[in-house]
Structure 1
Amino acid sequence: MSNYSAQPASLFDHLLELRNSLLRSVLGVLVVFCCLVYFAQDIYQYVAQPLLAVMPEGSQMIATDVASPFFAPFKLTLVLSLFIAMPFVLYQVWAFVAPGLYNNEKRLIAPLMFGSTLLFYGGIAFAYFIVFPVVFAFFTSVAPEGVVIATDISSYLDFILKLFFAFGAAFEIPIAIILMCWTGITTPESLREKRPYVVVGAFVIGMLLTPPDIISQTMLAVPMLILFEIGIIIASLNHKNSDDELADEKAND
């Protein structure tokens, strides 16, 4: 429950509400983690399938550290718990900021939070089902003759988590564009004029956020460009609606 009332809240009240929101968010993640930790080994096995499916026959993943057979699945399950609990975490953010928003801001922020969650999940799914099979097949096919492929489980986990976060964040581009246009930082027309720079920037970001190969770089850059165009379209529609509402208000006056 919010601590906001009809009277202006003090700084202490805001900090107390922020602390409660953070505690509820952490508790939500821990509840999901407790439900999943028993299946930690199975979860890691499932996430490792894109690599295992393309590894040469007779090869397998290895653990070069004594504790990695325990900590790698544990770490993956904790991150997965955060992903699953993300809607609840975002709801806590919404509950904290909503009392300070105007009604028109509330109408926009709620769908944006819902949309950002779906886009983040979409980015992760795209990485797992589309990118991983292609990238891992390429990596294993170009191994020099005589080299035995035996990927360390901790290294593999760090690799896929980096890609998960990269694609999840990249898929938030439409939300970022809508927010920038809504706050007046830029306009859809201005973004259209900067399209050539965006194309170059997408490939640069793809190069920085993905492994040093042209395949994963391109598979991140192309969706970013598509999402950029989708964001411009949505922002244009919202901008047009705002102009119409403003014109109606002036007419009524």
Structure 2
Amino acid sequence: MGEHRASDERVATDGGTSTAAATADDAETDVGGISAPTEDQEMPLADHIEEMIKRLAIVIVIAGSVSIVVFPLADQAITFLWYSVLPEGEIAQPRVYGPLEFIFARIKVASLAGLIVALPVMVYQTYRFMRPGLYRNERKYYLAAVPTSLVLAVVGVLFAYFVVLPAIFTYFLTYSQDAGAIAFGLGDTFGLMLILIAYLAIVFQIPLIIMLAIMMGITTRDWLADKRLYFWGAFLGLAFISSPDPTGMAPIIIALTMAGLFEGTLLVLKWVGR
């Protein structure tokens, strides 16, 4: 009798353990069978702000460190980019109209390098900030986005270098040649080059942003497709507001690029059935 009671007690204990484990498993699983966040705890607002500032400081420090490393090499980068975009000859000679113009150009080159490296770092730090509230599959998507962000930024830089800058400066030379003698100021001209390169590095993050938003359930492809006209208008407005080109050529190219990336991403999602 004693053995039977002990056996029954062991069964009851085991059953209770199994039930508790099942309850714990159920607590970590939502209706769709996706593992829920195990670290999702309420934090005071001050702690959230402190954490966000710390993550942002890491991004700024890394961007600044890269800029400092690149700064001594900025002269070679300026010469290479300048004579790669502008035609050879006397017309392409840069004019310096201020004592600090060349220094500012070097700072801009170094800052651009810091920005490109900071993009994936910012994605990762955003992931670290949001990680306690993310589902396991969402964490996987975010981690995969870190190298993807760097690849897209490099593609955006190459697109600006091979497509956008040659088209814009060919247009500038075409409509200016009959108006007077052309002289390229180092500060304004090189600033325009770097701003367009930086814009395109950021613009090419659009596919990544759309993918993450859909995979994390924030939006759907159908909703984005239904609202495409609003997005096109927003792209055009942002391009004209942020571009320093008064002729309108650069904003149009940037807006078309943004719309093309948006539509291309939706097309790929439709093709893969997501």
TM-score range, shorter chain: 0.7 to 0.9
Q: Distance in 2 between matches of 1:51 and 1:86?
A: 25
TM-score scaled to structure 2, two decimals?
0.69
| Residue segments in structure 2 that go unaligned for 5+ positions in a row | 1-38
Moved more, 206-215 or 93-102: 206-215
Cα 1:15–1:58 change in 2 (3 A) is closer
Corresponding position of 1:83: 116
Contact 2:92–2:184 (Cα < 8 Å) also in 1? no
The code of the aligned residue for 2:260 comes to I
1:154 to 171, 180, 187: 187
Report the Cα distance in structure 2 between the residues aligned to 1:6 and 1:24, rounded to whole angstroms: 23
Match of 2:152 in 1: 119
**TM-superposed deviation, 1:229:** 2.5
Give the corresponding residue for 2:5.
none
In structure 1, the partner of 2:126 is 93
2:143 paired with 1:129 = no
| Range that drifts further, 59-68 or 81-90 | 81-90
Name the residue aligned to 1:224.
258
Measured on the aligned residues, the alpha-carbon RMSD in Å equals 3.4
User: Do the aligned partners of 1:76 and 1:157 also contact (CA within 8 Å) in 2?
Assistant: no
Structure 1 runs not aligned, ≥5 long: 241-253
CA contact (8 A) 2:138 2:216 kept: no
Question: For 1:100 and 1:31, how far apart are their aligned partners in 2?
Answer: 31
Cα shift readout 1:38-71 (whole Å, capped 9, x = no counterpart): 112112222323443x265355111111211222
Residues 149 and 224 (structure 1), Cα distance of their counterparts in 2 relative to 1, 3 Å cut? same
State the alpha-carbon separation in 1 of the partners of residues 234 and 46 from structure 2. Answer: 43
Q: Which residue of 2 is the match for residue 166 of structure 1?
A: 199
User: Aligned pair 1:37/2:76, yes or no?
Assistant: no
Question: Match of 2:140?
Answer: 107
Change (3 A) 1:219 1:50: farther
In 2 relative to 1, CA 71–213 (structure 1 residues): closer, same or farther, beyond 3 Å? closer
Name whichever of 66-75 and 81-90 sits farther off: 81-90
TM-score, normalised to structure 1's length? Answer: 0.74
2:58 and 2:93 map into 1 onto residues whose CA distance is 41
Task: Give, as a single letter, the amino acid of the residue that structure 2 aligns with 1:156.
Answer: T
Matching residue's letter, 1:138:
Y
* Stretch moving more, 67-76 or 126-135: 67-76
The Cα shift of 1:228 comes to: 1.8
Q: Would you say the 8 A contact 2:66–2:110 is kept in 1?
A: no
Change (3 A) 1:74 1:100: same
Give CA-to-partner distance per residue, 1:173-229, whole Å, 9 cap, x none: 223433454565653234334556656665565555543556545533443333223
**Secondary structure of the residue that 1:142 maps to in structure 2?**
helix
Aligned identity (percent) is 26
Amino acid aligned to 1:106? R
Greater Rg over alpha carbons, structure: 2
Once residues 57 and 193 of structure 1 are traced to their aligned partners in structure 2, the CA distance between those partners, rounded to angstroms, is: 52
Q: Per the alignment, in what secondary structure is the counterpart of residue 48 of structure 1?
A: helix
The number of residue pairs the alignment matches comes to: 236
Q: 2:108 touches 2:191 (CA, 8 Å); kept in 1? A: no
